[in-house]
Amino acid sequence: MTKRKYRGTDMQMLLASGQIAEFGITYEQQLSARRPQWKAPFFQNLKERITQTSRTRIGLDNLPSIMEATEVVNGIITIAHRGIMELKAEIEVNFRSNPTRRSVLLTELGYDKLPKKYISQSQYVQLLATLRANLTPAVKAELVAVGANPATIDTLLLQAHRLIEANGRQESLKVNRKSLTAENIAEFNAIYDEVSTVCKLVAACFTDDKRLVERFCFTKTLRSYGYVRPSKKKKAPADTPNQVANGSSAPHPPTSAVDTASTVAETTSAMAETKSAVDEA
């Protein structure tokens, strides 16, 4: 089977590529002034190719609807993020004198599972679902009593309801009805190559326009459609030569037939990812 050159799922790649093509149409005049090859209908043709590929290769007839639904979701997340961080700060500051209660509140409201850096869409949905379920009138009253703004809490709960509904609609539109073949993946790779080339050239040609370069950052766009970079697993430290020579290396537990079978069952082949310069733009 042909290997994918891109990160994320096929659908995430096509959605991100479609968004890049949309940006190309929006900024066509500015882009083509620097690179005439990008004059219309370059980006319009690219968009149509992506839409057609999504329809014929994976049976996705509603790519524009998914992109529209994703914009709605991202808009809600942008608003909700402020409320999420504000409520977290209220708890951390106002319950400093009661660290036990502070810890309980942060855990019950889902903040203990919130990443410190990038937060994915699914993690926002999970957090807001937890908030909506556990931020009871009693908890709200407790937070208000120490200074939290009740209107801010109400707005956050409203955003939680809106995001859960919008996320559900977005997911319902993602229908994958066709089996993938080497030919399909080759076409996906070709689209990725073309789009990533655009992103790389924009980054090189418009170093003085950070906002434009951000628009054409493929990894950032991919993340807006749910891609999360896999976390790197720490390797166990290897035995030193002295340990091996002295026979003092850490003992290994005996391997039973059950253990061996379990290990074989759990082992899967991982598809290699080709790192593109645009992904780091």
Q: Which of 173, 192, 224 is the last residue of a domain?
A: 173
The answer to whether position 140 is within a domain reads yes
State what percent of residues in the chain have pLDDT above 90: 51
The answer to whether position 266 is within a domain reads no
Going by C-beta distance under 8 Å and a sequence separation of 6 or more, which residues neighbour residue 222? 7, 8, 12, 13, 16
In this structure, the answer to whether residues 203 and 114 fall within a common structural domain is no
Q: Domain total for the chain? A: 2
In this structure, the answer to whether residues 121 and 57 fall within a common structural domain is no
Q: How far, in Å, CA of 122 to CA of 170, rounded? A: 12
The answer to whether position 152 is within a domain reads yes
| Residue ranges making up the domain that contains 211 | 10-62+175-232+273-280
In this structure, the answer to whether residues 112 and 168 fall within a common structural domain is yes
The answer to whether position 242 is within a domain reads no
Nearest alpha-carbon partner for 77 in 228, 224, 229, 230: 224
**Tens digits of residue pLDDT in 79-105:** 999 999 999 999 999 999 999 999 999
Distance, CA of 85 to chain centre: 19
The answer to whether position 182 is within a domain reads yes
The answer to whether position 146 is within a domain reads yes
Task: State the pLDDT confidence band at 35, using cuts at 50, 70 and 90.
Answer: very high
**Tens digits of residue pLDDT in 126-146:** 999 999 999 999 999 999 999
Say whether 89 sits in a helix, a strand or coil. helix
Q: With contact defined as beta carbons under 8 Å apart, do 226 and 121 qualify?
A: yes
In this structure, the answer to whether residues 86 and 140 fall within a common structural domain is yes
In this structure, the answer to whether residues 54 and 119 fall within a common structural domain is no
Residue 268 pLDDT greater than 50, yes or no? no
